[in-house]
Amino acid sequence: QVQLAESGGGSAQAGGSVRLSCEVTGAINKPYCLGWFRQNPGKEREGVAVIFSTSGNIYYAESVKGRFTISPDNAKNTLYLQMHSLKLEDTAMYYCATWTGGSCLKWLKEGGAHSDYWGQGTQVTVSS
């Protein structure tokens, strides 16, 4: 059983930075995608950034390119999302998830549909 636990959310001012962490426990015994998604109430979930376990290929949503960085720390079984130059529209509940179903880019674009596991989420609120 795989479990994901996000942390690091909170409040930040526009232009500021926040780093999210996702601790992964349990083994995934095949190549997988690991990534970050976000959602606001009443809106569709959107992909933020994902990474493929074997190649290390990374994909970002256009809205966060150049501002957010996804990075794994394999020794700590933790995935990070470093967010800089925050905007009001970055306000959301952020979730990490895993998927073993194929294309990580497709998974990102589909907002994490059919993910295998989800964390409980961590709220990020950006204010002016």
Span 68-85, pLDDT tens digits:
999 999 999 999 999 999
Q: What is the pLDDT of residue 27?
A: 87
Average pLDDT over residues 82-102: 97
Residue 105 phi, psi (nearest 5): -65, -40
Q: For the segment 4-49, what is each residue's pLDDT rounded down to a tens digit?
A: 999 999 999 999 999 999 999 998 888 999 999 999 999 999 999 9
Q: What 8-state DSSP symbol labels residue 105?
A: H
* Rounded Cα distance, 101 and 16, in Å: 35
Rounded to 10 degrees, what is the CA torsion of 88, 94, 98, 103? -10
pLDDT digits (tens, 9 = 90+) for 113-123: 999 999 999 99
